[in-house]
Structure 1
Amino acid sequence: MSIEPDVGADGPASAGERSPRALTEQSLVLTWRQLAVLVRDRATVLQILFIPALTMVMFKVVLGDAIGSATGQDSVYGTVPLVILVSAMFGSLASAVRLNKERATGLLGRLYVLPIHRAADLTSRVLCEVVRIVITTILLLLAGMFIGFRFTQGPFAVLGILGVALMFGIAYSTFVLSVAVNVRPSVTLVPMLSLLSSVLMFFNSGFSPVEAYPTWLQPIVENQPMTPAIDVMRALASGGPITENMVKVVLWAVTITVVCAVPALRGYKKAATAR
């Protein structure tokens, strides 16, 4: 990410501060800071690492047989991808809450006036999400294997599933960050974004096939961002067509990321410099 030259507390930013090398190096340093802050928050770590795995097992135990009987499909191949994406979404909320706390304490403003690339801190938050999504996806895949999830298409399916989870997670985290920096500090983000995440979570192909939804709702369910991602991950693990749904995943991910990147950068400047 990059942004136009800006003026900090000590005058115009130097060319070195705006260079790709500065963005890369400083983003990595700040990513380490984000990870350190995240790891120290034990409640959040528990929420984003272990609760999704427990939820996935509960879905299998409570709903697995019912879904399997109704659809004729092993529910685990929908449940595991579904929980991976839900984990990516709800984990992004923790990042937004953390950003708002730093905004309220003035830390965001102090970071902004440092002689660093203007996009480095925001980029580091997205990179932190990348690390989190990779770790949680691997843990959820391992947990999924205990309830019957298998990679019948070979080990490279794991890389494909990771790739899909990352595309979806990066796009959603960029969206969440753009919302977080553009709303008033008094706005409660979690209920608002949780509502959107919950709607997406329940109206997709993870629980049941698209054909099982009412006719008028099927086009929405079929083309919302989660459904093609779930279908691609299901196909990578158990077999099936991939190309059409992968195109949808890429289009959704690129569109959301590009559309939200500029508002995120501009909103970050406003949030960091507001008095």
Structure 2
Amino acid sequence: MTTLTAPAAAPAARPATPRNRASALQQALTLAWRNVVKIRHQPEALMDVSLQPIVFTVLFLFVFGGAIAGDWRDYLTYLVPGILVQTLMFAAGGIGVALNNDITKGVFDRFRSLPIARSAPLVGAVLADVVRYVTSIVVLLAFTTALGFRTAQGLPAALLAVLVGIAFAMCLSWLFVWVGLTVRSAGAVQGVGFLAMFPLTFGSTALVQAGTLPGWLHAFTRNNPVTHLIDTVRGLMLGGPVAGPLAWTAGWAALLLAVFVPLAMRAYRRRV
């Protein structure tokens, strides 16, 4: 007589504990260092964020500076915070292309076979992108300082402005993580990124004051999250209101994380 035994119950998922979270963070940092080492062996990966700030500055400063401000030297002070934010916004899109390439090459299939947290590869990629942000800012500030740009609020305030910009770019990068995991090709990721970033960066106060714009565009510009970030950076570097724009920037950053981190994790589970 055969005795039937009930199938064993599936083990319950382990609740997140401080130790598990610390382990996941350590794994993410390890994978971030992997990406940094890869950049060190392929320095051409930083070519876009190294040349783009110079190209944007030369283009907007010398082509439009005289028409907008009468003299490019007068326009330089207003322009630099806008170019800083604009450069960070475009740099944030690179992570989507890199992740899409890694998935296509099967890199994430190897990560799936490792005993690591599901979130570690994505968090590690976001953390490693800080190298790109810092590179772009250093190049921009070195170039514009040589042209005569000076901050009016001192070095601590300027460093805080840079940190706020980098923090927002890291939050924004989760949108591109989701795009990179959702679309089929790296070219499509790049196309979506430019389509999203151009109206946000050029429809902001990066290049001109909002008051010079027509009514419908003025309304869009004043409610643009990139405008709030630029106003924060400009206030910290040059003087002006900071608390209001900073609160809006923090709110937009929190919204980006709340929406796109879960979407990116869901897309990652489906893709790999």
* TM tier relative to shorter chain: 0.7 to 0.9
**Cα contact 1:81–1:206 (8 A) shared by 2:** yes
Q: Does 1:196 align with 2:170?
A: no
Q: 2:186 & 2:132 partners in 1: Cα distance? A: 27
Which ranges of structure 2 fall in alignment gaps of 5 or more residues?
Answer: 1-10
1:226-255 C-alpha deviation (Å, 9 max, x unpaired): 111111211212211111111111111111
Q: CA RMSD in A?
A: 2.6
Q: Which moved more, 1:54-63 or 1:200-209?
A: 54-63
Q: 2:163 & 2:120 partners in 1: Cα distance? A: 24
User: What is the deviation of 1:15?
Assistant: 7.8
Q: 1:194 & 1:33 partners in 2: Cα distance? A: 27
Aligned pair in 2 of structure 1 residues 63, 187: CA closer, same or farther (>3 Å)?
closer
What's 1:32 paired with?
33
Q: 1:211 & 1:117 partners in 2: Cα distance? A: 49
Q: Which moved more, 1:92-101 or 1:181-190?
A: 181-190
What's 2:205 paired with?
205
What's 1:164 paired with?
164
Aligned pair in 2 of structure 1 residues 48, 12: CA closer, same or farther (>3 Å)?
farther
**Cα contact 2:81–2:234 (8 A) shared by 1:** yes
1:80 aligned partner, one-letter code? V
What's 2:228 paired with?
228
2:93 aligned partner, one-letter code? L
Aligned pair in 2 of structure 1 residues 186, 138: CA closer, same or farther (>3 Å)?
closer
1:66 aligned partner, one-letter code? A
What's 1:105 paired with?
105
Aligned pair in 2 of structure 1 residues 255, 13: CA closer, same or farther (>3 Å)?
same
* TM-score, structure 1 normalization: 0.86
**Cα contact 2:161–2:233 (8 A) shared by 1:** yes
2:148 aligned partner, one-letter code? G
Aligned pair in 2 of structure 1 residues 109, 203: CA closer, same or farther (>3 Å)?
same
User: What is the deviation of 1:182?
Assistant: 2.4
Q: 1:192 & 1:16 partners in 2: Cα distance? A: 35
**Cα contact 1:160–1:236 (8 A) shared by 2:** yes
Q: Which moved more, 1:193-202 or 1:37-46?
A: 37-46
Q: Percent identity?
A: 28
Q: 2:16 & 2:265 partners in 1: Cα distance? A: 19
Find the residue that maps to 1:19 and give its secondary structure.
Answer: helix
Aligned pair in 2 of structure 1 residues 88, 40: CA closer, same or farther (>3 Å)?
farther
Find the residue that maps to 1:115 and give its secondary structure.
Answer: coil
Find the residue that maps to 2:115 and give its secondary structure.
Answer: coil
Q: Which moved more, 1:115-124 or 1:60-69?
A: 60-69
